[in-house]
Amino acid sequence: MTDLAKPPVFVLVRPQLGENIGKAARAMLNFGLTEMRLVAPRDGWPNPSAGPSAAGADIVLDQAKVFKTTAEAVADCTNIYATTVRKRGDAKPVVSPEEAAAEIIVHPGRSAFLFGREASGLDIQDVAMARAILTVPINPDFGSLNLAQAIILCAYEWSKTQALAQPTLEEQLPPAPQADLDGLIHHFGQLLEPKGYFLPDSRADATKRTLRNVLTKPRWNHLEIRTLRGVLSSLGRQDRN
């Protein structure tokens, strides 16, 4: 990330519930963003209800700055995006979160995303300060996103420009050695041969090649091959009375 590509500021304009501020902080930190600014939060700040909802994103809440007006909150910003639905007659350009993220990384200066209060969104005066309107395609019959959802859409697109590491639950095991795979294929052959699977003899070689191709394709790891060998061994035993 260059000096020109500073992370965007997330500005919550007159947020109403501490729980929602906490959820917003959690959404931001999920994607490596920490700078939150609050404009005239209804219940004051700090708000004890925000902490539990942040689920550990305390760094965002602890560093949050409070401003009396939106103008003060974005005074040092040069690229401001108002997250709202475009109103008829509004001449501002309309961008998606992805387009906004692409602009931020090439334009100098600080950038800010404005998010309105939960019940009614941004006021006209707030939108007027923005360079562009940021919106997403949404169901016209149900266009209600909560604050954290809106923040995730913007934060995720920003994170894609920063090459954050993809978390994984566990490392994928490597494919088993060829000897293990050959043992599995041989085991199949031992069980299938007495059943006449490879008849007629004229087709036996082709059938065995096809079986090998089928069993080679999945790239089994050693645990999977061990499991399959156990299944075959069970099938090869006589049924229990």
pLDDT number for residue 6: 85
| Pairwise pLDDT comparison (65 vs 218), residue with the higher score | 65
Taking only the tens place, the pLDDT of each residue in 83-136 is 987 665 567 899 999 999 999 988 878 999 999 988 788 999 999 999 999 999
Question: How does pLDDT run across 42-96, given as a tens digit for each residue?
Answer: 999 999 999 999 999 999 999 999 999 999 999 999 899 999 876 655 678 999 9
pLDDT bracket for residue 219 (50, 70, 90): confident
**Structural domains of the chain sorted by starting position, each given as residue range(s) with its CATH number in brackets:** 9-160 (3.40.1280.10), 178-236 (no CATH)
pTM: 0.68
Mean pLDDT of 155-181: 79
* Secondary structure (H, E, C), the chain: CCCCCCCCEEEEECCCCHHHHHHHHHHHHHCCCCCEEEECCCCCCCCCCHHHHHCCCHHHHHHCEEECCHHHHCCCEEEEEEECCCCCCCCCCEECHHHHHHHHCCCCCEEEEEECECCCECCHHHHHCCCEEECCCCCCCCCCCCHHHHHHHHHHHHHHCCCCCCCCCCCCCCCCCHHHHHHHHHHHHHHHHHHCCCCCHHHHHHHHHHHHHHHHCCCCCHHHHHHHHHHHHHHHCCCCC
Q: What is the mean pLDDT of residues 164-193?
A: 82
pLDDT at 167: 57
Name every residue whose Cβ is closer than 8 Å to that of residue 187 and which is 6 or more positions away in sequence: 229, 232, 233
Residue 166: the pLDDT is: 59
- Band of residue 191 on the pLDDT scale cut at 50, 70, 90: very high
10-44: pLDDT as tens digits: 999 999 999 999 999 999 999 999 999 999 999 99
| Higher-pLDDT residue of 171, 212 | 212
With 80 as the cut, is the pLDDT of residue 5 above it? no
